[in-house]
Structure 1
Amino acid sequence: MPPSQRLLNTQYRIRRAHPMTPVAERMLRRTASATPGELAEFQERHLKSLIRVAAARSRFYRHWFADTGVDPCTVRGLDDLARLPFLDRSHLVADADRFRTRPASTMWSAHSSGTSGRVVTVYRTQWSAVVEHAMLERQRRWFAVPNRARSVVVRGHAFGTDSVTRLVPGANQLLVSSFHLDDRHAEQICDAIEHFSPDVVEGWPSSLALLAQLMRDRGRTVQVRMVVTSSEVTTAAQRALISESFAAPIADQYGQTERAAMAGVCEAGGYHVFSDYAIVELHAIPGLPDRFEIVGTPLHNRGFPIFRYRTGDEVGPAPSSGCPCGRAFPLLGMIDGRREDAFTASDGRTLPVPSIVLDNLRDLREVQIVQRGPGRFEIRLVPDTLYDADVVRTQARRNIDRYFGAGQQVRFVVMNRIPRTSAGKLRSAIVEPEPATVARVSGG
């Protein structure tokens, strides 16, 4: 069994069979039926506990409380949260270890450039992972999905062999490569999915839409209980195509590598903030009267406490009417800011969410991958103090080969700052055709 599959099996079993899983499930059953006042009390109780831990054990917060003269014991309620500073990706890029309250070896780490192109490393405890898993399982139960449901997962997998699917028995999952959704592999993928007989299909909307198109072209459908989308904004056209091919409601899930906030769609169609996972603030964006930035304070990750984290994700106004489901979780408006250009491989395959090839590159302040033409890419790098050019280029080349396939051309450009969009944003993956007069340079 490959190391990546063993890791997935292990992590899934820890979350499902961890001795604290029943505790997490009982907690979430109570909060699911709580009143708004009871949810606020739940948040305040966890916030006060996290503040004490952070002030005592986190280098960042220990110094912050000492420098500002704020007594952590005076942060007692939700209104007091505004006394703490905002955090953003730059704080985690600079030195994520300052936020830890436990040894890194006792937690899981994750790395991501997200859609912002700024590389972060974060940590989470087993308990926080157990709570997250229980929360996702709770959302599935809203759609009458059974325990230990069989899931097809179409989210960035590449297996480095001729195989384009992989069964993970410990997780009850069939993984499908997002980078081989083409006519050449369509029958193999469709046959594997039908034979697996899933209860749930989950993945990136762009990948699910590609899969749905292949199925529709062949007159094939697979009926499941729900389709779970995440990581990208789902367009109306994608929703229609996915719904047609899988004959099921689509339930989006919202989150980030930093685990600052969670939200998801219920069986009645409401997009709810999971306020038993994090305290979510919506801050108005200057110049945009109907747009708000999501700011999150996660409540269960005591090993890596972050408060008032600016996600960079934007939402519109929340619906004015309540959700028919009757739950007290607040409604969220339409989420924006999660879009990437699709790339094209040298053999014509579509490459969804191409920034995945940047996620494990280390010691960079900023990074961006640019599509110059089919199979021609430029990786722009802004080094950090520990940057090792050979290590970064070797890893990037390995990622390109794994996810995009062999035969792609790659060149590397070291910069002081990666250009922003007209709106001032740094995007991690863009299509920028190379002028005909510019020589094509291959390297790596």
Structure 2
Amino acid sequence: MFSSHSKLYRHASPGVQEELLALTSRLRSVITAQGVVRRTTAAIERSQWLAPAEWSALQLEAMRALALHAGRRVPYYREMFARLGIDPRRWRSLDDLTEIPVLTKDEVIAAGERLLAEGGPWLRFKGSTSGTTGRAMAGWRDRASIAFEQAFVERQARWAGYRRGERRAWLRGDPVVPSRQADGTLWRMNRAENMLMLSSYHLTPQNGAGYIEALEKFDPVMIQAYPSSVGYLARWLEEHDRNYRGKSLRGIVTSSETLGEAERRIIARRFGCPVFDWYGAFERVAAIGTCEHGHYHVMEDYGRVEFETNGDGTANLIATGFGNRVMPFLRYRADDRVVLADPGFACPCGRSFRVVERVLGRVDDAIRTPDGRHVVMLDWIFSGLFGLVEAQVVQERLDEVCIRIVAGPEFGHREEQALLLRARDRLGAQVIVRIERVAQIARTRNGKFRQIVSRLSGSNETDV
């Protein structure tokens, strides 16, 4: 109601917008089960130092408890366990988990609310994602699930040197400044969280100096950002032969996009601090975070992750998150891939969590706009449009994009207009948006779906 996506926020004055941001944060804090945050935080501060045998035992216990819950309370799993004769009480090792078939996104969409637990907390929150395939999938969480996730995100922030209450900057997907605004103050202060929230939608060569000046003046201890957004500012600094001059910055935490090694280097060099990359998923089945030595650790206390190797040094993730009992996903095949590290590698940080060399995640192009912006992460414009089977954004001209959609029977004129309005709001008035209905959307040579395809000169058209 009060978030930066709301109509009320968009039409408010900057001062009122800041009050609404603070109010939203306070409401979120009330909704989140703070007791669960504290208990989970205490537990994972200990579990991050467990030996492999200890966290394997922890995972087996957590998997057994979650599967027993799913077999009793979740219709989808109750029927499956009965059909296949699965009894989690018989499990004696993590290898026994393979009794449960791998769950795919198509199966989640087909199962729908049969994956919801019966009974339990009445207060539940529904979200949706298009993910890497552009297909809408609904997901449900409760207060405890949100709190569980928050505890792990906060632990990653502590790895980056941040403590709750210190100054931080936020440069992610929140439209904190109206898209129609071209210059001026392109950020808002959220005083409830001591957080400067900067628009990721207004990054242009002309605005670069203002962003850097605002960050240096606020002097955050940590910056949380999309890699492309903070990378844009790092390249601006590079082009102007400047370094960031803030004195308090200890770490930058990136997430939600793939962080390339070249991008990491220029960010670290120009901002003068380490970059900590975080991988999570809408399905909340796996989390991978960067430690103080720059290595990616699989959060073994967050969920059980299996590596499905592809024979080329990469692996798919098959994972089960421990934090969501409202809609548990057991052995879910995530859309993302990782590059495996040497299994014998021991990180100097002292944590025995398994290490991956790189998180490949999804690799998409960016949409470029006439005013110089690079727009990525368009998931929000598709969110909640459940008649949408697949969608892809294609740019062949600087001032025009085409959204190709494969639409089901539920996707009518109203949904199409909603998609048009969202896309225009995200891309700005200078970009013409067309919607083209197609029977199917082509994949790359190796079968990958690309949600954003740019055919402008200088774009990345590598078939990866």
TM above 0.5: yes
User: Match for 2:202 among 159, 180, 186?
Assistant: 180
Q: 1:250 to 1:274 in 2, by over 3 A?
A: same
- Describe the SS at the equivalent of 2:53: helix
Q: Does 1:32 align with 2:48?
A: yes
Q: Does 1:54 align with 2:82?
A: no
Which residues of 2 match residues 14-413 of structure 1 at below 5 A?
14-15=31-32, 18-75=34-91, 77-102=93-118, 106-158=123-175, 159-160=177-178, 162=181, 163-218=185-240, 219=242, 221=244, 222-223=246-247, 224-285=249-310, 288-319=311-342, 320-387=344-411, 389-413=412-436
CA distance in 2, matches of 1:360, 1:189: 32
CA distance in 1, matches of 2:214, 2:108: 41
In the TM superposition, residue 46 of structure 1 has moved relative to its aligned partner by 1.4
- Describe the SS at the equivalent of 2:355: coil
In the TM superposition, residue 68 of structure 1 has moved relative to its aligned partner by 2.4
CA distance in 2, matches of 1:369, 1:379: 4
CA distance in 2, matches of 1:354, 1:39: 37
Question: What letter matches 2:130 in structure 1?
Answer: S
5+ residue gaps, structure 1, are: 435-444
Q: 1:105 to 1:165 in 2, by over 3 A?
A: farther
Question: What letter matches 1:231 in structure 2?
Answer: S
CA distance in 2, matches of 1:116, 1:412: 18
* 1:309-362 CA-partner distances (Å, limit 9, x unpaired): 111222222133200011121112312142110111133322233444333433
CA distance in 1, matches of 2:409, 2:108: 15
Q: 1:38 to 1:78 in 2, by over 3 A?
A: same
Whether the 8 Å CA contact 2:70–2:117 is kept in 1: the answer is yes
CA distance in 2, matches of 1:337, 1:105: 34
CA distance in 2, matches of 1:135, 1:197: 25
Question: TM-score, with normalisation over the residues of structure 2?
Answer: 0.86
In the TM superposition, residue 392 of structure 1 has moved relative to its aligned partner by 2.1
5+ residue gaps, structure 2, are: 5-20, 458-464
May I ask how many residue pairs the two structures share in their alignment? 430
CA distance in 2, matches of 1:69, 1:45: 20
Whether the 8 Å CA contact 1:179–1:352 is kept in 2: the answer is no
* 1:243-282 CA-partner distances (Å, limit 9, x unpaired): 1232110111011111110011101222110000010000
Q: 1:13 to 1:198 in 2, by over 3 A?
A: farther
In the TM superposition, residue 140 of structure 1 has moved relative to its aligned partner by 2.4
CA distance in 1, matches of 2:259, 2:188: 25
Whether the 8 Å CA contact 1:400–1:408 is kept in 2: the answer is no
Identity %: 30
Question: What letter matches 2:106 in structure 1?
Answer: S
Q: 1:375 to 1:67 in 2, by over 3 A?
A: farther
* 1:16-44 CA-partner distances (Å, limit 9, x unpaired): x7122221111112212222122112111
* 1:213-267 CA-partner distances (Å, limit 9, x unpaired): 2344453513411111112222233122211232110111011111110011101
Identify which range, 67-76 or 139-148, moves more after superposition: 67-76
Q: Which runs of 4+ in 1 moved over 6 A?
A: none
Q: Cα RMSD over matched residues? A: 2.3
Whether the 8 Å CA contact 1:342–1:354 is kept in 2: the answer is no
